[in-house]
Structure 1
């Protein structure tokens, strides 16, 4: 068990949207994991900051978007004059604002079209798990790959909008079945969940900006 938040983010039981036409999200199907090797997908980093992720292992979750997903949080203390070990919050983590992730920009992990948006305006307090579903964004690539970002807030995009990898699409929230500010990322094709890897070349470009004098 790792230190990061693991929690169901795409619950099939609560997908009744209001009559507002600005939102749409299809109920995800049951995941069918392959009998052979698990396929992986390389995604653009979802943060322009240092971050760590805790993965959902095979068999832990049963719905695509959840299955083989990963929960990611920005960490502080890894650069600058006072760099030391990575940490998730500044002091005691008892408020959302104390977490390095809170309200930071969330970046699109792929080029694609926004095919799903699901709002959840309720904000959880750290340590108190809310009820599903989380606020979510669904982006579909032209080849059928789907990526879900959950527990986000302040959508910066609209339904059917085309985005490019690295575009700001939302901010980090703490809503739905979540104990702390973070973003859940899930990827799949059809009913097959995919293991997530991060584009290290893109990450390197982002991190160089952080380590430069201007970035500090």
Structure 2
């Protein structure tokens, strides 16, 4: 799946630049050393979900290198309706997918550093073309910006703008299906540093299980 774009460029050229950026050296360096850094984020959705992760070395660009593609699941499948399912019917409509238009929640306290909108939706089962809609977030800790960035890709109905501040868990958009995507889902990519620099480091995405427990009502707030 496509990822986002470098934090130091205007939002209108971020995704264009991504397609022209060669694989940064830190990806290969991490692969050789088998060392992976990670960032913990608020769950991207409140609904039950599951993610497939990009194996180290499978993707070139920093926001793709260790990204997670997440989909909403519901226990409505199987002969007795007790198996996890991704969609109803034959899944040929975006509306069939449980992920479709599911509210997306901010990954952490921080600032929106860029927004890219693609108004066109892709038909499930057909890989779309063009840029993917995306939101880029820069993490803040104790009110100060860090060098950690997260991108949500294949979004729709975005309710934040570049420069907005967000709190972890606040609604920022909904899951869509656009750009290089086969079905409704959210691509979550993370990296540290300037993506346009050879010093940029891809980050594995981990979920804040305490926040997830609060969403599920299993722990107190």
TM-score band by shorter chain is 0.7 to 0.9
- Cα RMSD of the aligned pairs, angstroms, is 2.1
Residue of structure 2 equivalent to 1:126? 124
Task: Call closer, same or farther: CA 1:11–1:114 in 2, change over 3 Å.
Answer: closer
Q: How many residues align?
A: 192
1:208 Cα deviation from its structure 2 partner = 2.0
- Distance in 2, matches of 1:99 and 1:138, equals 24
- Structure 1 moving runs of 4+ over 4 Å: none
Cα-to-partner distance string for 1:101-142 (whole Å, 9 max, x where unaligned): 001101111111000111101111101111132101000111
Q: Going by fraction, where is helix more abundant, 1 or 2? A: 2
Secondary structure at 2:151's aligned position in 1?
A: strand
Task: State the TM-score, normalized to the length of structure 2.
Answer: 0.81
2:195 pairs with 1:201: no
Q: Going by fraction, where is strand more abundant, 1 or 2? A: 2
Report if the CA contact (8 A) 1:59-1:67 is conserved. yes
- Distance in 2, matches of 1:10 and 1:162, equals 19
- Distance in 2, matches of 1:187 and 1:194, equals 5
- Distance in 2, matches of 1:194 and 1:11, equals 15
Secondary structure at 1:48's aligned position in 2?
A: coil
Structure 1 spans left out of the alignment, 5+ residues: 1-6, 18-22, 210-216
Task: Call closer, same or farther: CA 1:131–1:10 in 2, change over 3 Å.
Answer: farther
Structure 2 spans left out of the alignment, 5+ residues: 140-144, 194-199
Residue of structure 1 equivalent to 2:51? 53
2:181 pairs with 1:178: yes
Secondary structure at 1:144's aligned position in 2?
A: strand
Residue of structure 1 equivalent to 2:196? none
1:9 Cα deviation from its structure 2 partner = 3.5
2:7 pairs with 1:9: no
